Chain A
């Protein structure tokens, strides 16, 4: 019976949906988290009777055929790269990106990864690093005797040294953009990797056309909308139930066929 398998595809799809939603809710307070959405596609169709087939000798044709669908599948889980709201942390090394662009992070493996989570720290050598201790690229060293660090909107890092009047420039934060941001691969820890689908990164200074600006002392919050997630969760749960109901009904139909005397 086709309906059994069809309903099974429906249950699998809704299960994926619930998993994606629960991941969104779990990350509702993760810095710069982009909410995900599961996208569904109908499966291939079986032509039982082709529309347009001849229905008599005089050339009349069947106006509509019988096409039976074979269920649903998860087509993609995609990130919605909407800007999250900015929250003030007053932390010197918290930097939020307003607009497009990712910070570049040097992974221990030598690869470059990308992130919008700008909650940076300073390591023992004075280098600007992420929470995991991975270096921000291009590398910026903050001198030991710096009393004040300013990161302006175009990414220049200015430090005021003890006993000096003017600030000096010690580095420049850069942003990378991609033709297809949604094609980046998530690797956890708020980091992303370049893929063939994302296209090659294009680096530039913040504030250039097409690049966002930086805001010191702020962090980008996740763009998860909890109310929307909960309503989606309810609808996914009901859809799951409905599919299980279809399985039950198909089963009962088969059992009544089996029990014919």
Chain B
């Protein structure tokens, strides 16, 4: 078997995927509450079949094991919009979707034609009673306190629910900043919501560009390795054919 080329290929495949991840991070550098992702690599060991090797007894292929999500908080941006909320510390808003509850840290909400608090895609945001939140059309001043209590000039309306999970890495991204998970949500003991702010993306452009350069260079060097291996084989074949002929 031509192991050298296959090992190099395994690395290259993994690099292409990692590049896609970096590209996605950079594309989402201005997406509110976007969490950057990184791939995890591991070696995949294969026993060598022949006995006449001195150095090592197994070959290490590269394998991308999974995605590691950076759960750091993004920078807060002030938007001045009453219905923009940023969560400081742990927690997710609960959003009702046709596929059951989903969770988001992107607190960019709006009202729909019924005065219901919804996400940008029109999905209702739930309160601590698991109910959507409604505002009367003549309620002009909406105040959201740090613990998530919502009130207007007519008095309190409800309290936004913030939940947390044991294993945040196990949550799956769904698009539109939403996450889904089968884990049981637990209420955040001390919610901290900032009104009029949005959590920015936590992607560090410098880090991503550096990663991209590194990926590019390793890709090139692996390509080089495949080329050299190819040449070595060609030379060997030429040499062998010369001897036999």
Contacts and interface: CB of A to CB of B under 8 A. Distances in A.
Contacts, number: 220
B20 A238 contact: no
B4 interface: no
Nearest to A49: B66
A63 B212 contact: no
Q: Would you call the interface of chain A mostly helix, strand, loop, or mixed?
A: mixed
Of the four ranges (under 10, 10 to 19, 20 to 34, 35 or more), the interface on chain B belongs to 35 or more
B22 interface: yes
Contact of A252 (B21, B136, B173, B216): B216
Interface string B12-46: 10011101111110111111101001011000000
Nearest to A2: B20
A242 B37 contact: no
Interface in B209-239: 209, 212-213, 215-216, 219-220, 223, 226-227, 230-231
Of the four ranges (under 10, 10 to 19, 20 to 34, 35 or more), the interface on chain A belongs to 35 or more
Nearest to A259: B223
B75 to A, nearest CB: 11
Contacts of A259: 223
Contact of B137 (A70, A202, A249): A202
Q: Would you call the interface of chain B mostly helix, strand, loop, or mixed?
A: mixed
Interface in A245-261: 245-246, 249-250, 252-253, 256-257, 259-261
B137 A182 contact: no
B130 interface: no
Given A68-B24, A69-B21, 16 more contacts: A1-B16, A3-B16, A6-B27, A7-B27, A42-B177, A45-B175, A66-B65, A67-B67, A100-B140, A183-B110, A211-B138, A242-B26, A243-B23, A249-B19, A257-B12, A260-B227
Interface of A: 1-4, 6-7, 9-10, 13-14, 17, 37, 39-45, 47-49, 51-52, 62-72, 75-76, 78, 80, 82, 99-100, 177-180, 182-183, 196-199, 202, 204, 208-212, 223, 235-236, 238-239, 242-243, 245-246, 249-250, 252-253, 256-257, 259-261
18 contacts: A42-B173, A44-B175, A45-B175, A47-B172, A64-B40, A65-B172, A66-B65, A70-B24, A80-B81, A179-B113, A179-B135, A197-B112, A242-B209, A253-B15, A256-B219, A260-B226, A260-B230, A261-B227
Considering the complex of A and B, which 10 residue pairs feature the smallest CB-CB distances, nearest first?
A: A210-B138, A10-B27, A3-B23, A69-B24, A64-B66, A199-B113, A6-B23, A2-B20, A179-B115, A180-B111
